[in-house]
Structures are given as structure tokens and as C-alpha cells.
Amino acid sequence: MSSNKLIQKREFVPLKEYTGRVIYKSFKKNYHKQDGSKGSIVTFVLQDNSGDEVKLVIFDKQVDDCYDKIKENETWTFNNLQIRELNPYQDKESSEMMKSEIKFYREATYNRSKEEIPLIILYINKIFPFSFCENLLNDANFVCFCLEIETEQISSSYRGKFQEIEMKVADVSRRSIIVRCFTCKWNQWIKENIKVNTVFLLGRCHINHQPEGRYCIIREGSYLKVINSYNDIPQHLACQDTEYDDLPPNMSHGFSQDDYNLLIEMRKNVAHINFISVSPPHCRKTHSQTAAIFSLNDYINDVLINNSKIDRTYCVLAYLQRIQILNCFYNGCATCKKKIEQDNCQCPKCKDTTRKVCYKTNALLYETQEDAESNRNSHWAYISESCAEKFIGKTAQEFQDMDEQQRSAIVTPLFSKKYQLVVKGKISDNPKYAGKVWTTIFELTPVEEQ
């Protein structure tokens, strides 16, 4: 039974029976109910006999009943469920192969299936680049080298304390990803074998999907191996065959000798390569400490090529020609700065009733001074409220109280200079700017001209 054919709409509809192999089981998590009490939730990923995947969500009492019973790599049959289509931009566990979500209600029943469903690995029994992570979930294989590795630390979760190692690795797609290894047999192996610049096979790992990106998890069933030469790569993963000729042309499968040579060359020149992170920004310490530096045009092209619908953080070098100083204010909440139209009403976000004048201004950016002088390839970017106040050196209220001449005297010395920007960029979801890159600036740092 193909799960992605069961439903065409996002509303839940009844599903009499579903049989699937458990290919992923999450930790137990707490959530807050509407009445203020706490409940527990657990997520399973199931794969049916056609290879389609569904997300099974179980709540509260059912969690206690079935969490320890249902194990990974077992086949189970569930009855009296509800199913709906997944939203890939909201559902954290989603992937291109996971189309539906199942809810497990009180009247639902489950039992171990008499007939086992074999694990169907769709496209994942090959080595793929990190640029293809959005399509992968379990048993993903990569050949990469280590950019950073952090010392082992103790973390806490719903299940208690555990040891964690975190790495940042890169591959031939010029992408980097955060890799996490929780308490398992691989922790000690990583400490003994992986150093900065080590090339290794990251095999059978799990890709965790977050709204702003993805990161990789090493588990007990994963497979890691140091790669000192091309012959160290298992040939059933590295071979180039014709089994997947129907894949899109931008998808690589396998790992050739040329790919390996390129990876080694990139490792030698790592200081001069801008690796694009596919992991959420909050995985790292600060944006400006870790982000690769892009030119303005390269940044815009990267957002367009990746068709990014979700904000991603970039560090960009650009020439700032001017900023908007007229009609650049709004009335917002004094606490969270959300725009509020009416006076004397609660902010819907933080319930505060006090107001303040906030900045709403844009910057005109160019790649170079020559582009600015010829008005070529301009790009408007929105400056965040806190960044605008820090950059201008005046509160929005103080700046609003000035006339145009006074404002110009303050900001003109800031114009026609090169800056290093920390920005978030995505494809605009406003129909008026369809297909355009929407940029928000969070940091502006002057750059000394050489």
C-alpha cells in the first residue's frame, strides 16, 4: 500500500490499517497541553513495502504503552489511524521520500506483523553530496573531511545525561554540515581517529531535518571509516553504475577517483574555500565567527540556485551606497518590537501595552564601488531594527525627531564604504517580488580598504 497515494489534502482522514517497518524512533519529548499540563510525545518513521515513508506520532498514555515494545527494524501493523499529507516546510522529520503523517489515537491498536517488510533503501546505498541532504533521512552515506571537532561534553535530555561529540565536516559539493554523535560505541572511535582534516566515510547516519536546515546524527548502527586512499572506500558505495539513470542531473551517485582527488585538493586549500552550511545557524556559536564570506553577487546566486524558501545565514562583503532616511519608522511593541497598528491594545506576541518608535529602513548595496558609480547590479536589503539603531547611533525616536538635513549629516559619513554583513537570505514569499532574493541585515562591520 503506497502511503503517498492515500491522501491528497492536508486534513486528517481515517486510515483503517497500516503496516510498516520501523526505520527510526525518536527520544521521548515533553509538550505543553492547552490546559497547562504536560504530555509526552514520540515520533516513529515507518517504511511500507513500496518504499514510501510515513511519520507516526504517538501521544501520552500510548507512549508509555508502546515505546519500549516497538523497536527499530521491526515490522508492525497499526489499525484505526488518521493520516494526512506532510508539509515539508514545517515538519522537522520530513524528507522527499516521506509524504504522510499518521496520528495514533486512543481507539488505535497495534501488533507485531507476522510478515517482515525488508528495508528498502531508496537511492541511499550510494555516496551522496551534502547538497542532497534534503532528500535523505536514514542510512545516508558521505565521504568528507573534518573542518572542526569539539571536545566531548555532557548533555541532558528527557532520557537523562549523555556524552556528545560534535564535528563540522565538508565534502566535494562545497557544503558543510554539523555531525553529532551521542553516547554510543563510536564516541571513543571518533576521539581516537578523527582529527581536523581527516578524510573519512560517514556511513549509515541519520539526517535530522529542522526548519532552518539539517544536521547529521551518528548512531549505533552507523559505520565510520578513515579513508587514506580511494581504495579504502567500499566499492558497493563508490561504484558508478546505471541503476539510477532516472535521477535528476544535479544528483551525484557513487564516488569516483576524480571525486576523491577533488576532495583531497579541497582539503589542501580549505582556507580559501567558502563552504556553505546546510545546518541551522543555532548549531554554531555565532554567525560572524563561523560563516564563510561571500561576495554580494555570489550570495544572491547561491540563494537563487538553491531556491531557498527558508532564511539561511550568510556573511557577505558589499559596498553600501546609501540607506533610506525618509518614511523609515513604525510604531511597535516596546518589548518585542512587533508592529502594532492600534494604540492602547495588547501586543499579540508578548502582551505588552507600551509602544516605541522603531526603525524600518533599507540599504542599497552593490558588489563594488564601480558598480555603484555605474548603477549596475544593485540590491536592496532590509536592515533589522536593532542593527539600524546600532549602525546609525541614534534611537528611532531620536532620529525621527530630526529634520532631513540633520539626518543626512549623521548617516552620510557611513555611505559609500565597503562593509562585512551578516545577513539572512531567502526567495521572497511575497507575490510582488516573486523569484527575488529577500535579504535582512543583522550586522554591519566596516572593512578597511587595502
Question: Is the CB of residue 415 less than 8 Å from the CB of residue 399?
Answer: no
pLDDT for 266-302, tens place per residue?
Answer: 998 887 787 888 886 544 433 333 346 788 998 898 8
Widest CA span in the chain: 81
pLDDT greater than 60 at residue 137? yes
- Cell numbers found for residue 450: 587595502
Q: What pLDDT is recorded for position 448?
A: 67
Strand intervals (E) in 171-311? 175-182, 199-210, 213-218, 223-226, 276-277, 293-295
How many other C-beta atoms can be found within 10 angstroms of the C-beta atom of residue 39? Answer: 14
Strand intervals (E) in 300-373? 312-323, 329-333, 355-359, 361-366
pTM of the model: 0.42
* Residue matched to cell numbers 586512499: 229
- pLDDT band at 177; cut points 50, 70, 90: very high
C-alpha angle 161-44-176 in degrees, rounded to nearest 5: 70
> Which amino acid, one-letter code, is at 163?
Q
Residue 395 neighbours by CB under 8 Å, 6+ apart? 357, 389
Helix, coil or strand: residue 297: helix
Q: How far apart, in whole angstroms, are the C-alpha atoms of residue 415 and residue 389?
A: 16
Range of weakest confidence among 32-36, 98-102, 189-193, 214-218: 98-102
Q: Which fold has domain 293-446?
A: OB fold (Dihydrolipoamide Acetyltransferase, E2P) (2.40.50)
Across 181-187, average pLDDT: 78
- pLDDT band at 4; cut points 50, 70, 90: very low
Q: How far apart, in whole angstroms, are the C-alpha atoms of residue 154 and residue 163?
A: 5
Q: How far apart, in whole angstroms, are the C-alpha atoms of residue 336 and residue 332?
A: 8
**CATH 2.40.50.140 placement within the chain:** 3-112, 130-284, 293-446
Question: Is the CB of residue 442 less than 8 Å from the CB of residue 424?
Answer: yes
pLDDT for 365-403, tens place per residue?
Answer: 999 888 888 888 899 999 988 889 889 999 999 999 999
pLDDT for 307-322, tens place per residue?
Answer: 767 777 788 889 999 9
Mean pLDDT of the chain: 78
Q: How far apart, in whole angstroms, are the C-alpha atoms of residue 184 and residue 190?
A: 11
Question: Is the CB of residue 280 less than 8 Å from the CB of residue 257?
Answer: no
Question: Is the CB of residue 330 less than 8 Å from the CB of residue 356?
Answer: no
- Cell numbers found for residue 413: 559619513
Q: What pLDDT is recorded for position 18?
A: 87
pLDDT for 65-85, tens place per residue?
Answer: 888 888 877 899 988 877 776
CATH number for the domain whose boundaries are 130-284: 2.40.50.140
> Which amino acid, one-letter code, is at 395?
T
State the CATH architecture for 3-112.
Beta Barrel (2.40)
How many other C-beta atoms can be found within 10 angstroms of the C-beta atom of residue 289? Answer: 8
